[in-house]
A and B are shown apart, each in its own frame.
Chain A
Amino acid sequence: MSGLRKYVSFARTSLEITFVYRAGFVLNMIGTIFYVVAMFYLWQTVFLGNPGSLGGFTWPEMKAYILVSFLLSSLLTWYDEWVMSQDIREGYVAVDLARPFDFQASRFARAMGPIIFEATSAVGVAAVVALVFGGAALPADPGRAALFVVSCALATIIKFGLVYCVSMTAFWTTSIEGIMVGRSAIQNIFSGALIPLVFFPDWLQSVAAVLPFQAMISTPALVYLGKLDAQSTAVAIGVQVVWAVGLLFLGRLAFRQAVKVVTIHGG
């Protein structure tokens, strides 16, 4: 496909910019490492009081869960959301629209560009942390590892889809920061980033099940740990596909609508 080349170019350029902001990247990474270490000590204390397993998790499994959560949170940072909404708010979308590419595809490429770098760094950090804390559970077999990679890819697409939809609100509102903070808070709870969803009361678990957030962290983590049987895995990944496609589609719809009604400044 010859049309693909420009998007590869977008991705490459975007990766280059990540290197320009290397100090920011490193600081962000250090911040996240502190957070992971804190989580480790917290759960270690919890497991010391409850030897064996807790909510079906053993301590090595919980360590793996925290690291998977860390890995997925390191991909597609707030930066993409911020840049996209700023571009919309300041009218730079006009510049993009006067050029021959698909807006959503270009933003997707720009978000994906740095991912190889983000993923490599995060896996490296996770490995070191796991070693320091006496190892973590690994996927039982290569097949499960492969399923985990697929699930992570889908989780990342869902995250992009969500971030894209949220950024679209910048067309209608000037207080995008509030919406970003809100999304991040809800996502932290319902994705299972803070604690596995099994620890939630039943009603909250039911709420989480119908939201897209659980497909962003909980699903890949459970696939990694083999907590789902073959059928449940298929269903969970199917749900991820539905969310990924659905959110991308919703984003396109929102964008088209926005372009139709929006007032881009200037006369």
Chain B
Amino acid sequence: MPPLIEAHGLTKKFRQAVKEPGLAGALKHFFVRQYRDKLAVDHIDLAIEPGESVAYLGPNGAGKSTTIKMLTGILVPSSGSLIVNGLVPYEKRQRNARNIGVVFGQRTQLWWDIPVVESFNLARDMYEIPADRYKKNLGEFTEMLGLAEFMNVPAAKISLGQRMRADLCMALLHDPRILYLDEPTIGLDIAVKDSIRKFVRARVEEYGTTVMLTTHDLGDIEDICRRIVIIDNGKIIHDGDLATLKDTYARDRVIHFQLARPAESMAAICQKLPACEVASDGLRLSVRFDRFEHAAGEIAGAVMPLVEVIDFRIDEPEVEDLIRRVYLGQLSLAPGDEPELRSAKPAVVAEA
């Protein structure tokens, strides 16, 4: 069976206006327009199988949204080939749209002025969802996403978290094969993030829905995705499974201790933890460790007899950090290289 989504040499070029600064520049631009090409997506190859859940990551402006917009048929590629579910999205935009659900975190598809349920009813007619299936799905989603309390409230009057849940419901009412999520949890609190992630995961597990997700939140990826594709400057710089990526690039944890008194002897601590980076700043002490070599408890056990600890917390690496490391190639996938490369990392300085 061919992949559900298949791209070869997919490229999107944008024309950017070049303006010189100041009034003179604006005036000049009014008469003589100058442009330069920007490669937003630069010859990417991508193959996604049915039922896969893929995190599509990259810094702002890396080309994530542009790729998603090409996959959904919104943007026409400048060159390269693209097939989604047997269709060329931009040629058969409407037919492609029937197979997909899209949630743009920054843009709602709900109608602003009318009750949320009316937007759902519009989706029913738009996707020609049979009445019984619509009723079943709406009932199920209302229950799972807790939509009942604001179902009859206009979208303009609901909170961001409610809006996002309603948007997700609307994107899935027609049981699409593919779900595109463009920063679905941006600006949401933990509880809402959690309910959204659970819901999406259930779709993947129970219905085999294929999910492609862009996000800046590592939690989204861990809860939903098995595979990670990283794009930067329009090029794919990493494509592999999440576990391997995390074990290789995100194995460091930092444990921060809040001390009652400044540590008397740093040397003693360093001696007990030779494979870790220890940094201190007055009443703060932080230890960076490899979670495959030490358990957090071991570190705490080693530090606590030497200093008086009031409080401590553990930091997981952030997505941006992960991407940066992949990008910089500070760590190699070959485990043998590790000790040498570890020392190349910047020393940890506890936040002030």
Contacts and interface: CB of A to CB of B under 8 A. Distances in A.
B98 interface: yes
A219 B208 CA distance: 59
B102 interface: yes
B109 interface: yes
Nearest to B111: A13
A2 B126 CA distance: 11
B53 interface: no
Contact of A9 (B15, B97, B100, B122): B122
Given A2-B128, A9-B125, A98 B97 contact: yes
Contacts of A9: 121-122, 125-126
Contacts of B64: 267
A127 interface: no
A98 B94 contact: no
Interface residues of B, number: 41
Interface in A73-94: 90-92, 94
Contacts of B14: 263
B62 A97 contact: no
Interface centre among B15, B72, B125, B154 (most CB of A within 10 A): B125
A30 to B, nearest CB: 22
Contacts of B72: 97-98
Nearest to B101: A98
Q: Is the interface of A mostly helix, strand, loop or mixed?
A: helix
B126 A6 contact: yes
Contacts of A94: 69, 74, 104, 107
Interface string B86-108: 00000001110110101010111
B109 A95 contact: yes
A260 B75 CA distance: 7
Given A2-B128, A94-B74, A94-B104, A99 B109 contact: yes
Interface of A: 2, 5-6, 8-10, 13, 16-17, 20-21, 90-92, 94-95, 97-102, 259-261, 263-264, 266-267
5 contacts: A9-B122, A13-B111, A17-B114, A99-B102, A267-B66
A21 B154 CA distance: 13
Nearest to A94: B74
A197 B75 CA distance: 45
Contact of A16 (B69, B73, B76, B118): B118
Nearest to B125: A9
B205 interface: no
B20 interface: no
B94 A100 contact: yes
A257 to B, nearest CB: 11
B59 to A, nearest CB: 9
A261 B62 CA distance: 20
Given A21-B113, A98-B102, A267-B61, 4 more contacts: A17-B113, A20-B113, A97-B73, A266-B106
B63 interface: yes
Contact of A102 (B16, B69, B94): B94
B312 interface: no
B60 interface: yes
Interface centre among B16, B40, B126, B127 (most CB of A within 10 A): B126
Given A94-B74, A94-B107, A267-B64, A6 B69 contact: no
B65 A259 contact: no
B66 A266 contact: yes
A92 B104 CA distance: 10
A99 B63 contact: no
A20 B114 contact: yes
B74 A100 contact: no
A40 B69 CA distance: 54
A95 to B, nearest CB: 5
Interface centre among A20, A264, A267 (most CB of B within 10 A): A267
B125 A259 contact: no
A95 B107 contact: yes
B118 A13 contact: yes
B193 to A, nearest CB: 21
Contacts of B98: 100
Nearest to A7: B125
Contacts of B66: 266-267
A5 B125 CA distance: 6
A20 B111 CA distance: 12
A10 B76 CA distance: 26
Contacts of A13: 111, 114, 118, 122
Nearest to A5: B125
Interface centre among A2, A16, A21, A266 (most CB of B within 10 A): A266
A17 B110 CA distance: 13
Contacts of A98: 72-74, 97, 100, 102, 180
B107 A91 contact: yes
A59 to B, nearest CB: 43
A264 B74 contact: yes
Contacts of B108: 95
Contacts of B97: 97-100
Interface in B293-346: none
Contacts of B154: 20
B40 A267 contact: yes
